[in-house]
Amino acid sequence: MLPFSVKAFAKINLGLLITGKRADGYHTLETIFAPINWYDTLEFTESELISMSCTNGDLPVDDNNLCIKAAKSLQRFAGLQKGVAMKLHKEVPFGAGLGGGSSDAATVLRVLNELWRVNASSVELHRLAVELGADVPYFLAMKALAYARGIGDELEDLGLTIPYHILTVFPEEHIPTVWAYKNFYPRFDRELPDLKLSVSELCLFGKRDRFSVFENDFEPAVFDHFASVRCVKSLLLEAGSVFASLSGSGSAVFGLFDNELEAVAAMKRLPETYRMSLTPPGFSMEQ
């Protein structure tokens, strides 16, 4: 029954290895997606037309918005003329590498598939999701840790969760994905580590030496150009984080902590203007 609201959770990347570049210009990668307890809220209300409003005036609410694109994509697929009014309560920062827009789009696909009684299959929804963006399929189909390859659209559910407190920090720098892919330092000829095995040994057996595997290939270039982002990682490590890294292609940095007290203490060492989120161990998007 309308109206109702749904949470759209963000993600971090535990390792992000850019492995090559395709003829169509897209880069291939390997990564581990992990959900965090930082989310937007989407409100759905009956309407004859597809429309959208947003609590953040900096985001477009026209056909350039991923939520509008998702709704119209499903509408075309189903051959329907149904509409919906959406209100996005925006909390996940954009340009952060947290997949907020992709999660919003996946939520729209999933909700409207049921609301409009389209009954598209998971394969059909996956195809629509890939057309919207490389991260969208993860949010559409997965609940916890997933291994991704291709352009991020080839997914494998790992059946794992992170056994640490995750402190995610946005240092108020918006880094466009286009900039990140234009400026990263390629290392296509290296031998790739086994991300799947490493994350399994870390999560199941506590093998902390596996942290060395989880490099983010965007990190060196981002740190060279954005000193405030580099500083966040240093502060998290100084505050007792067992591992810290850039997330995705944006500016958000996350740190993993053994206990909540250390994570909260780290938050107090960071500038008050920075937006932050704390995720408990074992978190999944089913919660």
Other CB atoms within 10 Å distance of the CB of residue 21: 13
Joined together, the tokens standing for residue 82 give 């149904």
Out of 104, 135, 153, 217, pick the active-site residue.
135
Which amino acid is it at 250? Answer: G
**HSE, side-chain direction, 13 A CA sphere, residue 31:** 29
Active-site residue, 268 included: no
Provide the Cα torsion 20, 250, 72, 116; round to 10°. 110
Q: Determine which one of 11, 87, 90, 233 is catalytic.
A: 11
Sheet containing 243-246: which strands, arranged edge to edge? 243-246, 253-257, 165-170, 275-279
The angle at the Cα of 65, spanning 64 to 71, to the nearest 5 degrees, equals 110
Give Cα 108 to chain centroid, integer Å. 16
Residue 40 designated active-site: no
Residues marked active site are found at 11, 135
